[in-house]
Amino acid sequence: MSLWLLFLAASFSFSVIVYYVVFRAARCSSSVRLEGKTAIVTGSNTGIGKATALGLAKRGARVILACRNKDKAEAAAFDIRRETGNNQVVFMQLDLASFKSVRRFAETFLKTEPRLDILINNAGVLGPGRTEDGFGMAFGVNHLGHFLLTNLLLERLQQCGSSRVVTVSGLLHRFGSIDFPLLASKKDLVSDQSTWHNFQAYCNSKLCNVLFTRELANRLEGSSVTCYSLHPGVISTELCRSMSLWLQLLLMPVAKLFFLDPEAGSHTTLYCALQEGIEPLSGRYFSNCALQQVGAKGRDDALARKLWEVSERLTSLS
């Protein structure tokens, strides 16, 4: 299985390297200003999330860094305030691996912040472990945590006129699948915690991101809230920090040579958050600052609806 994983990783890396060497990431050129508006960015103490928060702060937004690690997030907030001159960049504690933490964050936010214009579901994990509520880590954090957070904040988004929900998915959603009987028995979409299954769990969670966005758009049709999912590009970030050391060593030289940096990786997220005129494309998937087609499973409305209904039960929203 390890040799098969090595072959798959090498093949995938080669294909994306060729693609991104030929087609470098597009840049978000929106000149929209955000004074008086509030944005939340999850997982914004490092990587794409921090670069996204920086881009929003430069445009004058009040930016909430919703992160698990207090020290790292406060350091990131300090960096962003210093670079932008925008003092409206603050940290609020959020651990997406804990429903209790998600609910506490939402309660605090709704009590202290009068508006929410942009919610960016950016945080993501790849690796073994279980959430506080017993779910596989990738499914629990990448999907369920963001699903619960978005629903708890949805009324505030609707109160603020034109607002957006942006969820960072990825190209790997094309390799994802959703096995509901397995989810019911294992509280996860994979059967164990091997390296291969951790990779598959991540792919599955990225498919969940696409389907969540699609169903959210269906439910919000006719409202002032629009939503988008996206592939940020192949980025050199800390996402793989929980992978085995040998896999990190394998990927490190490739990442340094060919992968985009977090600043470049933030542009499609910023495009979805800021670009004027894309409102009719709510629920759709973007890459390289342009509309892209998702895999066949990501276009399955029945699957999206069932995932939503199951997710409501798992997060005690229904």
| Domain CATH for 49 | 3.40.50.720
3-class DSSP state of 42: strand
Q: What is the pLDDT of residue 22?
A: 40
Catalytic residue among 19, 20, 202, 228: 202
Note the pLDDT tens digit of each residue in 234-261.
654 444 455 455 454 545 544 444 456 5
| The one-letter amino acid at 234 | V
Torsion of CA 299, 269, 237, 250, to 10 degrees: 40
pLDDT of 256 reads 46
> Is residue 16 in a domain?
no
Cα 292 from Cα 228, distance rounded (Å): 11
pLDDT at 31: 79
Is this model's pTM higher than 0.85 or not? yes
Round to whole Å and give the CA distance between 276 and 271.
9
- Is there a domain that residue 15 lies in? no
CA angle, 54 as apex, 48 and 55 as ends, to 5°?
Answer: 90
pLDDT for 161 equals 86
Per-state percent for the chain, helix, strand, coil, to nearest 5: 55, 15, 30
Nearest C-alpha neighbor of 65 from the set 85, 93, 84: 93
Rg, C-alpha atoms of the chain: 18
Cα gap 113→119, rounded to integer Å? 13
Query: What is the reported pLDDT for 254?
Result: 43
Question: Rounded to the nearest 5°, which phi and psi values hold at 120?
Answer: -115, 110
Look at residue 5 and tell me if it is in a domain: no
- Does some domain include residue 2? no
Q: What pLDDT score does 18 carry?
A: 46
Domain assignment of residue 78, yes or no? yes
Residue 119 contacts residue 216 (beta carbons within 8 Å): no
Buried b (16+ CB within 10 A) or exposed e, 132-164: ebebbbbbbbbbbbbbbbbbbbbebbeebeebb
Nearest to 204, CA basis, from 166, 168, 170, 167: 170
Is residue 43 within 8 A of residue 65, CB to CB? The reply is no
Residues of the chain with pLDDT under 50: 1, 18, 20-23, 236-240, 243, 246, 248, 250, 253-258
> Residue 235 forms beta bridges with which residues?
260
Q: Is 202 an active-site residue?
A: yes
Task: Note the pLDDT of residue 257.
Answer: 42
Which residue matches tokens 């509280």? 187
Phi, psi of 157 (to 5 degrees): -60, -40
* CA atoms in the 13 A half-sphere facing the CB of 1: 7
Per the structure, the complete domain to which residue 284 belongs is given by 35-314
Per the domain annotation, does 245 fall within a domain? yes
Query: Quick one: which of 162, 123, 200, 164 has its CA closest to 39?
Result: 164
In a domain, 66, yes or no: yes
Does 8 map to a domain? no
- Give the count of beta carbons closer than 10 Å to the beta carbon of residue 179: 14
Tally of domains in the chain: 1
